[in-house]
Structure 1
Amino acid sequence: MLSFEEVISRLRFKRVRTAVVADIRRQVIMDVGKRAEAGLQQNYQYKIIRIMRPDDANIMGNVHGGIILKMIEEAGCIVSTRHCNTQDGDRCLALLVRVEKTEFLSPVFIGEVVHITAEITYTSKHSLEVQVIVMAENILTGGKKLASKAALWYVPCSLQNVNKIMEVPSIQYVSAEQKEEGRKRYEAQKIERMETKARVEEVMPPLPNSEPHTVGFSQSSLIHLVGPLDCILHDYVHGGVTMKLMDEVAGIVAARHCNTNIVTASVDAINFHRKIKKGCVVTVTGRLTFVSNRSMELEVLVDAASLVEKEMKKYRAVSAFFTFISLDKDNKPLPVPPLKIKGEEEQRRFEEGNARYLQAKAKRLADNRQ
């Protein structure tokens, strides 16, 4: 899969751009077409269509990645909840537990119409996978582009007892191979989710008067009281709301480091470790971990504590890594200022980020050869 940086650079060459877009759309059509031929598509699919407004974008007209993430999660939640309530027993609500790495392939602008298609692609006994495709349409020219693709995992919780995990109705697969590939993805995400949950790290406050282009200089936090508008049924926070807050904080950190227009390029797996309930105060903290010549990796951590239940101590609710790039006035990538490392902990996080960067780069090169 192409990164946002690679897509932008290819926009300079019309012929290459046309070929790339055609290949991507052809693959999307093939994947959806297989299910349509089997007569399964409509049973497991849901669509959202909405025009992008000025309040969805930054001052440069780029739609916030958090807005796209929120819409992706809304579509995923709806199709998952509908499917899980097709069986007898307690009514249930599908809650988000993980979002796989999400690439923002093309920027979305004010006035464009976003088409979000969410489809259930795998079910286990207690969870289900939803694949989401985001297309952006220019309604003046009729042109469409693939803006993003994502994979989300949900678990159905009973409305009678939110701690009770319900069984998921199985879906029909086009082939045995498709089911086996889904099982492999399920096993992989389950292992990674447990490994991430085991890594609990306190967020240290930045030093006063931090030097520019250091971690402490750009580190930012947002404190938010969870109210009724943030919640779905059973007074628990909507996953899309949390992701939008995370993207906002990450954007502030990236902008402080570059002092330019920045956009979300990708999001590594977002892990939802524990539920957040109405009345909690959430602290969303973002900090730089790694910087390459053209991109920035930021770790975003969400901690929660109840405002009314004093016995409930502060806990880690969500964690993820965001990647941003810096753009000029023509939306072309700019070099990113180097990150000045202070101390062993920052050096450790930088090396870990570099390893993730090299791994992602190798994967993109391997995908391009296929």
Structure 2
Amino acid sequence: MSEQQARFCRESLVVKTSRVFPMDTNNHDTLFGGKLMSYIDDVASISAARHGRFETVTASTDSVDFLRPIGQQHSVCLESYVTWAGTSSMEVFVKVISEELRTGKRELAATAFLTFVALDDDGKPVRVPRVVPETEEEFMLHASGEERAIERKARKKRSQSLAKKIGIQKPWE
């Protein structure tokens, strides 16, 4: 594949549906947030790998917004795809849909943006294909992708600065 070859968002689409079982819930009888975050990282990593056909690593979970609880007796459906690409990084959008299995009522339960970096066989960042949106949703997310990338870089610099200030303390000292 040419490094410059573009890919449609749909080429990186991943859909995963799971039933919410009691062991997946918290003390509120809703899907444990950490479990949902694991699902989100899982599908997003597959989308990133599909986009570039390279190994990828999670560079950041940029945002996870929990919009409504997902209860027991529900299913949870995650849809993810690459929305924007930089040089070696890719932004992946994840949409989480909750469904009451008895009624069929479906609601948007969460959204997330994650960033992945593509790596070559030596573990070095490698150029990724640009993204080609087709749907209204894809165009909207793609158009604002560069702005989110700028925000991510600024947030990372603030995190690096904070890390230098706080360092690592040994708990026994």
TM > 0.5 between the two? yes
Matching residue within 120, 124, 144 for 1:352: 144
C-alpha spacing 1:223/1:368, structure 2 compared with 1 (3 Å): closer
- Corresponding position: 1:301 with 2:92: no
In the aligned structure 1, how far is the partner of 2:112 from the partner of 2:79?
Answer: 11
Q: Which runs of 5+ in 1 are unaligned?
A: 1-211
| Superposition deviation, residue 362 in structure 1 | 4.2
| Superposition deviation, residue 223 in structure 1 | 0.6
| Superposition deviation, residue 248 in structure 1 | 0.7
In the aligned structure 1, how far is the partner of 2:50 from the partner of 2:62?
Answer: 21
- TM-score of the two chains, using structure 2 as the length reference: 0.81
2:63–2:114 contact (8 Å) kept in structure 1: no
Matching residue within 8, 33, 56 for 1:262: 56
In the aligned structure 1, how far is the partner of 2:143 from the partner of 2:40?
Answer: 23
- Corresponding position: 1:230 with 2:21: no
C-alpha spacing 1:363/1:250, structure 2 compared with 1 (3 Å): closer
Matching residue within 103, 124, 129 for 1:332: 124
Paired amino acid for 2:108: R
2:8–2:132 contact (8 Å) kept in structure 1: yes
Q: Which has the higher strand share?
A: 2
2:56 alignment partner, SS class = strand
* Number of aligned residues: 158
1:233 alignment partner, SS class = coil
| Superposition deviation, residue 363 in structure 1 | 4.8
Matching residue within 309, 317, 321 for 2:113: 321
Counterpart residue number, 2:35? 241
In the aligned structure 2, how far is the partner of 1:347 from the partner of 1:220?
Answer: 18
| Superposition deviation, residue 361 in structure 1 | 2.6
Counterpart residue number, 1:89? none
Cα shift readout 1:9-36 (whole Å, capped 9, x = no counterpart): xxxxxxxxxxxxxxxxxxxxxxxxxxxx
Runs of 4+ with deviation above 4 angstroms: 362-370
| Superposition deviation, residue 322 in structure 1 | 0.6
Counterpart residue number, 1:253? 47
Counterpart residue number, 2:14? 220
Counterpart residue number, 2:165? none
In percent, how many aligned pairs have the same letter? 34
C-alpha spacing 1:232/1:366, structure 2 compared with 1 (3 Å): closer
In the aligned structure 2, how far is the partner of 1:276 from the partner of 1:224?
Answer: 12
- TM-score of the two chains, using structure 1 as the length reference: 0.40
- Corresponding position: 1:284 with 2:78: yes
C-alpha spacing 1:369/1:229, structure 2 compared with 1 (3 Å): closer
In the aligned structure 2, how far is the partner of 1:323 from the partner of 1:241?
Answer: 19
C-alpha spacing 1:364/1:215, structure 2 compared with 1 (3 Å): same
Q: Which has the higher helix share?
A: 1
C-alpha spacing 1:344/1:260, structure 2 compared with 1 (3 Å): same
In the aligned structure 1, how far is the partner of 2:159 from the partner of 2:74?
Answer: 42
In the aligned structure 2, how far is the partner of 1:234 from the partner of 1:349?
Answer: 33
- Larger RCO (alpha carbons 8 Å, 6+ apart): 2
The structure whose Rg is larger is 1
